[in-house]
């Protein structure tokens, strides 16, 4: 049997407002609440609520044969808890079926693994707690931000007690190896690695609504037929994508919702497939082969590397400045300062600074609320400077001031 592992990433960042030099030291409200709530509300109405409903119905109709997984970032959960609690409720209902696995990640969808290992562990622990509190399950699987993969990530994740890790099936890592097998990451004893089948995933996530694509329109039967051509020895097909793909990035009239609803039935026609959660798929496969990932890979863009986050000098300067500030943030002992710092650690902030203008640049522009990548950098660095001042402020003054400004 070949497991079909459908996993959706759900994430919303705390987007910054236009924060100028003249705000530094005067105003420590960094985030654009109006924008953040508007986007969350829109995505909730177009994607989270209708697609969650659809998945729940499919699970019930198939009597549990249809299964999938989610990772919902801590920043998204925090926003949902505040502004759209009904979305949290609907995820909780999916978890309660026992057919939907919730994975862990860093609470702030951050690049902490690259910036500071202690912070990485702290954010993973925070995310476990949040998922347990809001969704009602304890995550056993892990996915790193943007599926950033590295041998050290795998070892750290095993140490943290996870059973399965999700990663990108990048050609330059796998070489001749098949992304449709379950692997053992190099240096791990127990942990199993499930890879994203980027070809099949991107058929759904990106090409589905492209009318210029030779395979458009893609029917569930045609897609199931492609999967059926995989060798019989295939352990799994990792269909990993942003959840927002289903109803937000690709508009509902592209038929993506109908496609997803019909996919389980189309796959059941080929008897070799069964839907599985990542933990189930990992448990059922032997993981005979070891795969090493000495360089960093991700699921983004044509390069499948970190160039979308740390590809230009602004991005590297911002990332470096952020983590240089972390010791002072910890030392100052102010939980509000740490909370704001963590919101700044969300990878989206450096992603907005990307200057890749080739075909991937369109994707970047779609996801950014800034006019230019440079504007994103300017605001971020100004905010960081204000945060740095707050770490130096004497405790008593700080308490009085933040109490006043937050009131």
Partner 1 sequence: MLGWEFPPHIAGGLGTACHGLARALAAGGVEVLFVLPRALGDEDAGGVEIVGADTAAVSDADLPELLPVDAALQPYTTAAAYAPAAAVAEAPPVPRGRYGGDLFAEVARYARRVEELARTREFDVVHAHDWMSFPAGIAAARAAGVPLLVHVHSCEHDRSGPGADPRIVAIEQEGLDAADAVVCVSRYTAERLRTHYRTREPALRVVHNAAPPHAGRGDDARVVEDPVVLFLGRVTYQKGPGYFLEAAARVAAALPRAKFVIAGSGDLLPSTVERVAALGLARRVHFTGFLRGDDVSRAFDAADVYVMPSVSEPFGISPLEAVARGVPVIVSRQSGVAEVLPSALRADFWDVEDLADKILSVLRRPALGRTLAAGARREARELSWSRAARAVSALYEEFAG
Q: DSSP assignment, residue 354?
A: -
Catalytic site residue from 58, 105, 146, 280: 146
323/335 Cα distance (integer angstroms): 17
Residues 6+ positions from 59 with CB-CB distance below 8 Å: 66, 67, 94, 97, 99, 100
Report how far apart, in Å, the C-alpha atoms of 261 and of each of 209, 219, 377 are. Answer: 16, 11, 41
Min dist CB 372 to partner 1, Å, is 7
* CA dihedral sign of residues 328, 331, 332, 334: positive
Smaller CB separation from partner 1, 284 or 355: 355
Report, in Å, the least distance between residue 316 CB and partner 1: 7
Nearer to partner 1, 50 or 361 (CB): 361
In contact, 24 and 386? CB cutoff 8 Å: yes
Question: Taking the alpha carbons of 299, 130, 404, 40 in that order, is the dihedral positive or negative?
Answer: positive
Residue whose CB is less far from partner 1, 372 or 405: 372
Q: How many CB atoms lie within 10 A of CB 25?
A: 12
CB of 18 or CB of 121, closer to partner 1:
18
Decide: helix, strand or coil at residue 49: helix
Residue 380 Cβ, how far from partner 1 at the closest point, in Å? Answer: 10
Q: Are 328 and 320 in contact (CB under 8 A)?
A: no
Minimum distance from residue 375 beta carbon to partner 1 (Å): 7
CA atoms of 371 and 352, how far apart (whole Å): 10
Cα end-to-end distance, the chain, whole Å: 58
As measured in angstroms, the least distance from the Cβ of 238 to partner 1 is 35
For residues 288 and 374, which CB has a smaller minimum distance to partner 1 in the complex? Answer: 374
Residue-wise over 4-20: b if at least 16 C-beta within 10 A, else e?
A: bbbbbbbbbbbbbbebe
CB of 405 to partner 1, least distance (A): 20
Distance of alpha carbon 10 from alpha carbon 33, whole angstroms? 19
The three-state secondary structure class of 101 is strand
Active site annotation includes 324:
no
Pair 318, 382: CB distance under 8 Å: no
Binding stretches for partner 1 (CB under 8 A): 18, 20-22, 312-314, 316-318, 355, 357, 371-372, 374-375, 377-378, 381-382
Q: Chain-centre distance of CA 322, in angstroms?
A: 20
Compare residues 82 and 372 and give the one whose CB is closer to partner 1. 372
Q: Please, which residues have CB within 8 angstroms of residue 245's CB and are 6 or more apart in sequence? A: 8, 204, 205, 256
Closer CB to partner 1, residue 172 or residue 374? 374
The tokens of 343 are what?
């919101």
- Interatomic CA distance for residues 31 and 202, integer angstroms: 32
Q: Least distance in Å: CB of 370 to partner 1?
A: 11
d(CA 333, CA 191): 35
Q: How far apart are CA 148 and CA 114, in angstroms?
A: 10
Q: Pick the closer one to partner 1 by CB: 1 or 317.
A: 317
CB of 374 to partner 1, least distance (A): 6
Q: Which residues are catalytic?
A: 146
């Amino acid at each position: 049997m070949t497991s079909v592992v459908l996993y959706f990433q759900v994430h919303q960042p705390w987007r910054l407002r236009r924060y100028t030099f003249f705000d530094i030291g005067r105003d420590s409200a960094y985030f654009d609440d109006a924008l953040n709530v508007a986007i969350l509300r829109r995505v909730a109405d177009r994607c989270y609520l209708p697609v969650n409903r659809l998945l729940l119905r499919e699970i019930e109709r198939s009597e549990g044969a249809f299964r999938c997984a989610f990772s919902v970032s801590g920043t998204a959960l925090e926003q949902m808890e505040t502004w759209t609690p009904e979305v949290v409720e609907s995820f909780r209902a999916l978890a309660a079926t026992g057919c939907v696995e919730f994975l862990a990640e860093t609470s702030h969808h951050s690049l902490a693994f690259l910036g500071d290992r202690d912070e990485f562990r702290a954010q993973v622990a925070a995310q476990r707690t949040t998922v347990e509190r809001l969704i009602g399950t304890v995550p056993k699987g892990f996915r790193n931000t943007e599926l950033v993969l590295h041998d050290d990530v795998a070892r750290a994740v095993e140490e943290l007690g996870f059973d399965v890790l999700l990663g990108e099936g990048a050609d330059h890592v796998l070489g001749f190896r098949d992304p449709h097998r379950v692997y053992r990451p190099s240096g791990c004893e127990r942990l199993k690695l499930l890879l994203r089948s980027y070809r099949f995933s991107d058929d759904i996530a990106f090409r589905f609504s492209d009318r210029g694509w030779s395979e458009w329109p893609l029917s569930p039967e045609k897609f199931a037929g492609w999967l059926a051509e995989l060798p019989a020895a295939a352990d799994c097909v990792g269909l990993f994508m942003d959840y927002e793909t289903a109803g937000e990035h690709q508009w509902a009239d592209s038929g993506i919702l109908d496609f997803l609803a019909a996919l389980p039935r189309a796959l059941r026609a080929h008897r070799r497939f069964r839907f599985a959660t990542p933990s189930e798929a990992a448990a059922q496969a032997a993981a005979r082969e070891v795969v090493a990932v000495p360089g960093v890979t991700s699921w983004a863009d044509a390069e499948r590397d970190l160039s979308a986050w740390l590809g230009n000098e602004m991005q590297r300067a911002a990332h470096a400045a952020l983590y240089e500030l972390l010791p002072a943030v910890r030392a100052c002992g102010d939980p509000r300062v740490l909370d704001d710092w963590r919101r700044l650690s969300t990878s989206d902030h450096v992603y907005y600074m990307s200057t890749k203008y080739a075909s991937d640049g369109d994707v970047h522009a779609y996801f950014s609320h800034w006019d230019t990548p440079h504007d994103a950098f300017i605001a971020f660095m100004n905010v960081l400077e204000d945060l740095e001042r707050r770490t130096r402020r004497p405790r008593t003054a700080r308490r009085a001031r933040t109490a006043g400004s937050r009131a």
